Structure 1
Amino acid sequence: MSEQLRRTRIIATLGPATDAPGMLKSIIAEGVDVVRLNFSHGDADDHRARAAAARVAAAELGREVAVLGDLQGPKIRVERFAEGAIHLEVGETFTLDCRADAPIGDSTRVGVGYLDLWRDVKPGDLLLLDDGLIAMEVVEVVTELVHCRVVVGGRLSDRKGINRQGGGLTVAALSDKDRHDIELAAELGVDFLAVSFVQTADDIEQARRLLREAGSDAAIVAKIERTEAVAALGEIIEASEVVMVARGDLGVEIGDAELPGLQKKIIRETLERSRVVITATQMMQSMVESPIPTRAEVLDVANAVIDGTDAVMLSEETAAGKHPDKAVAAMRRVCLGAERQFEPPADIGPGARVLDRTDQAIALATMFLAGRIGVRAIIALTESGATARWLSRHRSSVPIYALSRNGRARRRMLLYRDVHPIEFDPHEVGPAQAAREAIQHLFNLGHLAESDRVILTTGDHTGQLGGTNTLKVLRVGADGLAEGLGKL
């Protein structure tokens, strides 16, 4: 009962580093809640093997993990160089060749994957390559050729990305590869599907339609990484179940100076709209090589936690780093430390509005009471996990135990801050008996003790989707039996 429960969820990207024997079990044991399959790297067989291995490792540890598939999206990239890489000096001229039959790259030019790039840029535009490590100013645009002057030089290698500072590239959100990967995601039974380089809500709806046609009901994650997405932020949040602050390409497009404030804005607006939010990219980048994070990285993760993010994500740190398990352990420690030092204001949560669902109203009433009468825990008997999501939107230090027999719902709840999903099947008993069994189950697991006061939410009919319509204030009696309270 004394151990601090971590409230912020951790996502780890799988890759060659986590393929090492025993590493998957190690990172899950250290605290990974969701594993990410990055469809930008590896082939279908790699993703099949990693998804299966993650589920086996979690089961061996008596845990559940959710799986997030992340589409590559239409990231604009240079093609390949004859020598694999070149070095660009400041002031040199360099050409981006938009022809389908562009020759292999050399020190003066290289082909690009987006053949309409020359139509989207004009002289004076700044193009940022390899996440902004190299910068080129457009000098002249001739049919299918973009002639540039190097502003920031460096090493440029095969398949590095290209962004236009300020956005404005018209490439579609879903590529042909993404369409195939959506089918793969459905085959793998992913719990979440992330859509890259979203520009509008229509991009989300298109991905959802293709995913449903493939037979999957996975939740859609909108990655905010383009200037156009910032302009349409409200409609994109409304169209999605989850929003990701994808700080790599976003920072390149809008500029580093604007990124911190925008991160806070995205987190705040996502929570106000009762959606789930992930903060991602380079959170502990130094740990690709180092066994310990920098102080700046510690503060970065902690600030995201304090801002109210549901989850923080590791990318290259676990996929290709030297210390995947140490990176997860460090992130877990920082999350716990930030949560321990910072008590969320009671007012953090969805803005005041008319509630159109009974379970939303029950969640609001529950969190209002929890902050005023002093309870050990909130217990949600839920079929779909919807009640747990509404509860988690109102920030509180009180843990939420979400009991469900639905494995799909439990895995989706692994991304909700403050929520601890637990397998529980009331065996078709009535609500009163289900409540008693739920409290006794948590008592037996060591989550509750005698005399603890709890709030329990349930419905008139157990197992019914969206049926939560009741809250009860109860006290845990001897042997974990629930007792009603005559007075507070």
Structure 2
Amino acid sequence: MKATKIVATLGPASDTVDIIAAMIEAGADVFRLNFSHGTPEDHSGRAQRVREAAARCGREVGIMGDLQGPKIRVGKFDGGRAHLEVGQPFILDAALDNKSPLSNSERASLDYKQLPQDVRAGDTLLLADGLIQLTVTKVEGDAVHTVVIHGGELSNNKGINKLGGGLTAPALTAKDLADIKTAVDIDVDYLAVSFPKSAADMQTARTVLAAAGGKAKLIAKIERAEAIVPQTLDEIIEVSDGIMVARGDLAVEVGNAAVPALQKRMIVRARDKNKLVITATQMMESMITAPVPTRAEVSDVANAVLDGTDAVMLSAESAAGKYPVETVKAMAAIALAAERSQVYELDRDFINQQFVRVDQAIAMASLFTAFHLNAKAIAALSQSGSTALWMSRHDSGVPIYALTPEIAAARRAALYRGVRPVVVPFDADRDRALQAAEDALKSRAAVADGDLIVLSCGEPMGKSGGTNALKVVRVGEHRS
């Protein structure tokens, strides 16, 4: 079984229980609901189908809601599109109604009316994921005058980025606030926040989520130039539950060549701080229309796995592509092959490590013991799943099973690298609880009689954050 998790976006190509179930069987662990598209009813229906498919497969999988954020877009064109020629003048006009088809090859409306205040002559604007490049020549009132450097076809609602960042749009829009309420109603396990510039943006999102009654974990999508400043990035990671290396808009703002090194740095920083990390955007892009990936895509996914990402993500490939199930299957095979090539150096991870919490020390001791005893599995009995999360920050090659009575904790653990979540009722008696854990692993063919397993638990049982005991047992032997 692969350790790296797969996040698959749902859409028209993957909108039935049968297809979702097939994707789960192929290796999908978390399903993404993209709030940039669809209605609350669409998202609710998809969430229900995920739960139904997961129950059919006997698996706990997670659901992640992904907020649109302040994606700055041109409006609608007369005829749906316009062609921009290199060297021609082109105006971005904040005074035009962006909901009417008023744009043309000379002038386009905007949904972000503050753009004239955020740019000046000499700035570079990138449209349609960077395919079209404009240089600002002057700003007059509501009109941003530009000249086309790289031309091409520009269609309705294409995005605008400023090279190097610097746009002042807030991370949460009115639409996002409404979508957070939808996410709470659906009971998503994770909520991804688009375009945060600072830790304050994530703290605001957490406050809004809590006020709406939500308990989802927050993922910060790193896609603005401001967010990759080392101190700012560390601050965002600290106040989030995880980050997403959102390579699309990030590449447009900082340049394609800068992204691979940033990806590696972000994965390391997140793992160092015991936070989750998802690598996203165009990982298997060719499989939108082709039944097999390119060799470059295989290398891309494998390198993210070798870097230590918790999850790799599919967007249009699984939402709108011709081969959603085959894409998941191919991605799972790549991840597994990359993991098998890894050399585990767990001892090195523990050099100069200091633990101030008992539960975290037990988690690390369980990893160390299982690694050196060549145990078949680690069973982390945990109310919240935090013990399994800490274990998952280090690669030991030993499968980790997060055993929890809380369905919500199990669904969250579906995103943790190397962790298999299992819902198991806890007995107040420790020995009976440990026996139930052993039985749960045997029933899933994860272990067999004679195998060595490492168990961690807390006493008294059922107390969140109370992991304080480690036990090594041989499956099938009588316990005193």
Q: TM-score under structure 2 normalisation? A: 0.96
Q: Deviations over 1:368-400 (max 9, x none)?
A: 222222211111111110111111112210000
Kept after mapping to 2: 8 A contact 1:271/1:350? no
Kept after mapping to 2: 8 A contact 1:140/1:148? yes
Picking from 161, 174, 177, the partner of 1:176 is 174
Structure 2 residue 131 is the aligned partner of structure 1 residue 133 = yes
Q: Deviations over 1:265-290 (max 9, x none)?
A: 00000000010110001100011111
Look up the match of 1:58: 54
CA pair 349-249 structure 1, distance change in 2 beyond 3 A? farther
Secondary structure of the corresponding residue to residue 86 of structure 1: strand
5+ residue gaps, structure 1, are none
Secondary structure of the corresponding residue to residue 312 of structure 1: strand
CA pair 165-347 structure 1, distance change in 2 beyond 3 A? farther
Look up the match of 1:13: 9
Picking from 23, 26, 48, the partner of 1:27 is 23
Kept after mapping to 2: 8 A contact 1:474/1:482? no
Q: Which amino acid in the other structure matches residue 44 of structure 2?
A: R
Kept after mapping to 1: 8 A contact 2:385/2:410? yes
Look up the match of 1:99: 95
| Identity across the alignment (%) | 50
Measure, in 2, the Cα distance between the counterparts of 1:63 and 1:139: 56
Measure, in 1, the Cα distance between the counterparts of 2:238 and 2:478: 39
5+ residue gaps, structure 2, are none
Measure, in 2, the Cα distance between the counterparts of 1:382 and 1:250: 36
Kept after mapping to 1: 8 A contact 2:76/2:157? yes
Look up the match of 1:309: 309
Structure 2 counterparts to residues 318-337 of structure 1, below 5 A: 318-337=318-337
Secondary structure of the corresponding residue to residue 22 of structure 1: helix
Q: Which amino acid in the other structure matches residue 266 of structure 2?
A: I
Kept after mapping to 2: 8 A contact 1:349/1:393? no
Q: Which amino acid in the other structure matches residue 81 of structure 1?
A: F
Measure, in 2, the Cα distance between the counterparts of 1:303 and 1:331: 12
Is 102-111 or 8-17 further displaced after alignment? 102-111
Look up the match of 1:451: 450
Shift of residue 211, structure 1, vs aligned partner: 0.7
Look up the match of 2:66: 70
CA RMSD of aligned residues (A): 1.5
Q: Which amino acid in the other structure matches residue 49 of structure 1?
A: G
Look up the match of 1:225: 223
Report how many residues are paired.
476
Q: Which amino acid in the other structure matches residue 186 of structure 2?
A: L
Is 441-450 or 300-309 further displaced after alignment? 441-450
Shift of residue 460, structure 1, vs aligned partner: 1.2
CA pair 90-161 structure 1, distance change in 2 beyond 3 A? same
Measure, in 1, the Cα distance between the counterparts of 2:271 and 2:349: 6
Measure, in 2, the Cα distance between the counterparts of 1:435 and 1:381: 8
Kept after mapping to 2: 8 A contact 1:74/1:174? yes
Structure 2 counterparts to residues 33-432 of structure 1, below 5 A: 33-99=29-95, 101=97, 104-231=102-229, 232-346=232-346, 352=352, 354-426=354-426, 428-432=427-431
Shift of residue 252, structure 1, vs aligned partner: 0.6
Shift of residue 22, structure 1, vs aligned partner: 2.7
Secondary structure of the corresponding residue to residue 76 of structure 2: coil
Q: Which amino acid in the other structure matches residue 75 of structure 1?
A: K
Kept after mapping to 1: 8 A contact 2:16/2:49? no
Kept after mapping to 2: 8 A contact 1:39/1:181? yes
Q: Which amino acid in the other structure matches residue 446 of structure 2?
A: H
Is 122-131 or 94-103 further displaced after alignment? 94-103
Measure, in 1, the Cα distance between the counterparts of 2:132 and 2:191: 31
Measure, in 2, the Cα distance between the counterparts of 1:99 and 1:348: 59
Q: Which amino acid in the other structure matches residue 373 of structure 2?
A: I
Kept after mapping to 2: 8 A contact 1:243/1:276? yes
